[in-house]
Amino acid sequence: MEEVNFLHISDTHLCFEENRQPICSSPQRVERVYAAAAALDQKPAFVLITGDFVHEGDAAAYAAARLFVQTMEQRYGLPTYVALGNHDRHDAFYRGFCETPAHSGPYYYKIKMPGLRLLVLDSAVDDQVLGRLDTEQLQWLEEQLEKGCTTPTVVALHHPPCGTTVHATNGNNLQQPDLFQHILERYPVKAVLAGHKHFATAAMLPGGTPAYTGAGVAFAIDMPQGGALNFVDGLQAQFCAVYDNEFYWSPFCLDERTVLGRMTPRQMREYHAEK
């Protein structure tokens, strides 16, 4: 089966105004991620953004976001698939990004390509920080999974469907996660990808499905110290690979770092040959 590589990023909190809050990303900041992805030896096929795509924007902001992702596709050959988060706004998203009439219904869809089926859900509830999946989407998810598919399946949404390593942040995750978990546990879903937390964390759902929460692009949250959460300027992404009927998820850092050593492809071959 064909190998698929893609980039999972989250919480871009895009803002196109000059006087943006420090917790929002400029388009230039998000472009750094696309540029880094395009330069990788294993070039991703697309970028998945698991919510908080635009920070509380109006239709004009979403129109700018549409133009931004089109530009990223032209410039780097990377199409973008988006899930909505609690800082997104449904009405504005439909009008500005989808160029359809405004409505408040959930934005969910599937993407199928050789080697991967991606089911994108909408856990965002306007004006609430916590997440919820309505009956319509849960039914749709079950229908999709019930159809059966030999292609590895990944499910994406904004709110993590389980706890995380940081108890203090768990209160606003997906509500009634058991409804979601009970569907997943009956089907061979390779992974659930989420965001919302702004730190990378992984878990196994009660039915055995792995759930990965991506770090935030706009800002990172460190492990708490003295009870406080620090919002810091760390830029991270997650590289995903699907091959041999397995799914792999690897966080990597885009901040400037000191290179301490280097191995050429030939040195790598020699190193492994010695083992």
Residues that bind Fe ion (CB under 5 A): 11, 52
- Give the shortest CB-172-to-Fe ion separation in angstroms: 10
Q: Which is nearer to Fe ion, 11 or 122 (CB)?
A: 11
- Give the shortest CB-147-to-Fe ion separation in angstroms: 32
> What is the chain's length?
275
* Number of neighbouring beta carbons within 10 Å of residue 86: 21
Q: Looking at the DSSP assignment, which residues form a beta bridge with residue 156?
A: 120, 193
3-state secondary structure of 60: helix
Q: Looking at the DSSP assignment, which residues form a beta bridge with residue 129?
A: none
- Give the shortest CB-55-to-Fe ion separation in angstroms: 8
Q: How far apart are CA 132 and CA 174, in angstroms?
A: 5
- Give the shortest CB-30-to-Fe ion separation in angstroms: 13
Q: Which is nearer to Fe ion, 52 or 122 (CB)?
A: 52
Kindly state the helix (H) or strand (E) to which residue 272 belongs, with its residue range. helix 265-274
- Give the shortest CB-52-to-Fe ion separation in angstroms: 4
Q: Which is nearer to Fe ion, 131 or 152 (CB)?
A: 131
Q: How far apart are CA 213 and CA 158, in angstroms?
A: 9
CB 148 within 8 A of CB 139: no
Q: What are phi and psi of 203, to 5 degrees?
A: -150, 165
Q: Which is nearer to Fe ion, 153 or 201 (CB)?
A: 201
Q: Which is nearer to Fe ion, 62 or 140 (CB)?
A: 62
